Amino acid sequence: MTRMLIVGPPGAGKGTQASRITGTYGIPDISTGDIFRANIKNQTPLGVQVKAIVDAGDYVPDSLTNELVKNRIAEEDARAGFLLDGYPRTLEQVHYLDELLHANGQKLEAVIQLVADQEEIVSRLTKRAQEQGRADDSEEAIRHRQQVYLRETSPLVDVYRERGLLIEVDGLGEIDEVAERIKSALTERGILPASERDESVA
């Protein structure tokens, strides 16, 4: 059973590493953005609510996000574990997730935090925006997103650090290098890739 979270600033390659982790550990990548889009596309009752809120330009409230996550981690493919990406975002969501997992006799095993120098990320994203002609991605906008991320996630990161769940990994470098750092850090915690777990059981 491998239940983990991944957090990291915009531009640190979180999405790329999330897909690597889920492939290596045989668990689904549960991104709240993907959950919202799937529910909207399938026009579920919750999806209809979310669409109305998003169309109005408002934030989806914790209660609705919690319900969507609850439904998603109850699905068959998440029974043996999952990687949550983009959730929890608030302390209220942290407490809800605690209660939800506890009610199912489950717990988180690790919280992977991709750490990257802010100036390095700003430089990288600014360069990418220029190359791709993305005028909306100004240096000012990029810095603002970094500040919002820090403000939102710092309290959550502190909670998981106090619980001894936080694994800080240098997010800068080649994709394979970062993936190997994550794998090594998880192995140190006794969290093995799916292939090695199968061998140890055999």
3 is catalytic: no
89 is catalytic: yes
> Which of 3, 14, 181, 183 is the catalytic position?
14
20 is catalytic: no
145 is catalytic: yes
> Which of 70, 124, 145, 197 is the catalytic position?
145
| Other CB atoms within 10 Å distance of the CB of residue 138 | 12
| Other CB atoms within 10 Å distance of the CB of residue 78 | 16
| Other CB atoms within 10 Å distance of the CB of residue 107 | 12
From residue 149, alpha-carbon distances to 11, 12, 69, 115, 202 in Å are: 11, 12, 21, 12, 43
> Which of 107, 127, 134, 189 is the catalytic position?
134
> Which of 41, 107, 127, 128 is the catalytic position?
128
134 is catalytic: yes
> Which of 37, 51, 70, 89 is the catalytic position?
89
Catalytic residues: 14, 89, 128, 134, 145
